[in-house]
Amino acid sequence: MDIERALDRLDEGALRALLGRLLSDYAAPAFGALPKREVDLLVFRTLREAGVIGQGAPLYQLMADLRISRAKARNLVFDLEIRQPIGGGLDDQVRAVILNDSYFKDFNWFVLEVENPVVQAHLREICRRARVVTDASFNPGIVRLPVSGLANVLEEFLDPDQQAEVKQGLYRAGKLEDKSFRGLMKRALADLAQRFAGKVAGEVMDGAVGAVGEFLEPILSGDQEAITDIWSGIYS
């Protein structure tokens, strides 16, 4: 962590704005009234805004740069980001995790690596709405859910028209006949998990982080033609 170099890259106006915001927030509602936790958050926010710490810095980097525990690093990120305007950004970040930081474990589990605690909390809320039980007991940065539950989660991201496109794409790709979206997706995902965990396609195997995204991306975008094209390989 090189504070001096990061500050040298900022112009005078940016430096004034950073310092002004830091001092104003520290002095509100009265000088010295903020608890230590809030002061830590102000300084952490300023380090981010100054570019000393990257916005998406891994937790390990925060632990090393700030010389703090993993739990404190997670709490800093969560407490800061949960207060910021989010809009639809969290849905996009959860989609990115599903596509890029996930893999099948054995035939039964879909595993997601989610370091950002706010994104993880949003993922858990999506799972709760979909009535899917998750497990993160063995690693706070890992979320596991049943392969069958992934169908419920994907349904949360798709409107009825997109679900219809997905169904048609899967009908054309293989011998799938279930009329309900969830039933169809559960069967398709079970077949996909079997393909990955069974090491059928050479480089595609159990634990291949992110490789499953090639198959899930057209599902999440409701692209019928791409679904048929990519998923046909599962049933060939």
For residue range 193-216, list pLDDT tens digits in order: 888 875 544 444 444 556 889 999
The answer to whether 82 and 118 have CB atoms below 8 angstroms apart is yes
Closest to 76 (Cα-Cα) out of 94, 93, 53: 53
CA 145 to chain CA mean position, Å: 14
For residue range 7-64, list pLDDT tens digits in order: 999 999 999 999 999 999 999 989 989 999 999 999 999 999 999 998 888 899 999 9
| DSSP code per residue over 134-151 | -B-TT-TTEEEEEHHHHH
What is the pTM for the complete model shown?
0.79
CA distance 5 to 52: 8
Closest to 79 (Cα-Cα) out of 138, 128, 38, 109: 38
Q: 52 in helix, strand or coil? A: coil
The answer to whether 101 and 211 have CB atoms below 8 angstroms apart is no
For residue range 94-108, list pLDDT tens digits in order: 999 999 988 888 778
Whole-number mean pLDDT of the chain?
88
What is each CA distance from 228 to 174, 182, 223, in whole angstroms? 8, 18, 9
Q: Is 166 a residue whose pLDDT tops 60?
A: yes
| DSSP code per residue over 199-211 | TTTTT--TT-TTT
The tokens for 195 are 């393909």
CA distance 189 to 202: 19
Question: 95 in the Ramachandran plot: left (φ > 0), alpha (ψ -120 to 50) or beta?
Answer: alpha
CA distance 60 to 53: 12
Tell me what pLDDT residue 139 has: 79
For helices 70-81 and 117-129, give the axis angle rounded to 10 degrees: 70
